[in-house]
Amino acid sequence: MTGAGCRRVLVIDDDELVAAMLVAHARSAGYEARSTSDPAQFFTIARQWRPCFVVVDLMMTGMDGLSVLQRLARERCRAAVVITSGAAPALLDSARTYAIESGLPYAGALPKPFRRGDVAAVLDSAIAEPRPQESSAEAFARQSYLGFQVALRKALQDDEIEVFLQPKVACEDGTVVGAEALARWNHPALGAVPPSTFVPYAERLGLAPRLTDLVMRRCLTWLSAAAVPTGFTVSINVSASELGDPRLRHRLMAACVAAQVSPSRVVLEVTETSTVDDAVGSLEALTRLGLEGFGLSVDDFGTGYSSVSQLARLPFSELKIDRSFVAGMSRSDRSVTVVRSMVQLADGLGLSSTAEGVETEGQWEALREMGCTHVQGFHLARPMPLEDFTRWVDTWNSGARAGARGDLAGA
């Protein structure tokens, strides 16, 4: 995208009458607008004119809408996508998901037939929303692989990486029962470096064990001194590359012994896709970790390819429902059905269920009615430094018992 002031709209639709109508409606709402029915011309205009919106019809002859979205993603187009079609709502919803998961900024959908006010509403709503900008750290990582590698190694060596905790609460009564540990890097020159930028680099560079050890050590030190309930657990993410390392179990156990903290206070979160790469190795590693007493959680459930088979084979104690499904609950009855099915599946297998990305009271209430065990997300609290967490727990738990969940969500 080209910034909040950009009002250029490019339309591709093989129905010239519909395309002309979209252009007219956009112009009447104060936007510059152009259209074409030719895919080759569309991409040429997009590169040269740099629109802030592209309106893409899904059902076109020749190159269909999904193919257009695929190429836009491949060319790293930053224009916000508006999808239009006369197809069933479920197909529009699937196309929306496809656009978002392809990395395209998504502005909204225009089901056909539409009115002039619908076009203005979608465009104006997207203009009003803050648009994510590439951080200096992300730009540096993209432009200088070697420089970023050096900076990351130095950060791990000099303890520039901090550990934040995001609370996990009981869905039924709001009591804090645990937290997820999240690595945060505040570079002296680059500023805040997103985990989505530096964690994949750590894995590619073979630095994941050092990052895991740092997070584990900080959490155990905090747990050994913090005034939290005995059953309180801290969840730590373990990368796919570490699961096959036989030293992982010994490193984690040594850290627990040194801090005098039981492994039962630690939950290891493993992404669903990481267990697919080496099924036999994952089974052995997770079984050994479970025998030591660690809790085992399948993270981002529903985003991999072998979801149910993984739950049947591997000794997990918790299922974490990916935030994308929780976010979809407000937009799609299908998402509600999927989340309810996940909660029921976890319950049937004797696992606890934790919904990530809870951002509204309505989502929390819906999850509680479904029987979800725990919730986690910005509605409760954003991740916070270790030193702030104990105070927050005291404030929240006293308020939760008084029924003041919503009032304390921003504490």
Which residues are bridge partners to 168 per DSSP? Answer: 178
Q: Are 288 and 315 in contact (CB under 8 A)?
A: no
- Bridge pairing between strands 318-321 and 352-355: parallel
The Cα 405–Cα 70 span in angstroms is 42
Who contacts 330 (Cβ-Cβ below 8 Å, separation ≥6)? Answer: 360, 362, 363
Q: Are 329 and 336 in contact (CB under 8 A)?
A: yes
What Å distances lie between residue 349 and 151, 311, 345, CA to CA?
A: 44, 8, 6
Which of the following is catalytic: 356, 359, 361, 369? 356
For this structure, is 356 an active site residue? yes
33: helix, strand or coil: strand
Which residues are bridge partners to 42 per DSSP? Answer: none
The Cα 377–Cα 358 span in angstroms is 4
Q: Are 384 and 163 in contact (CB under 8 A)?
A: no
Active site residues: 356
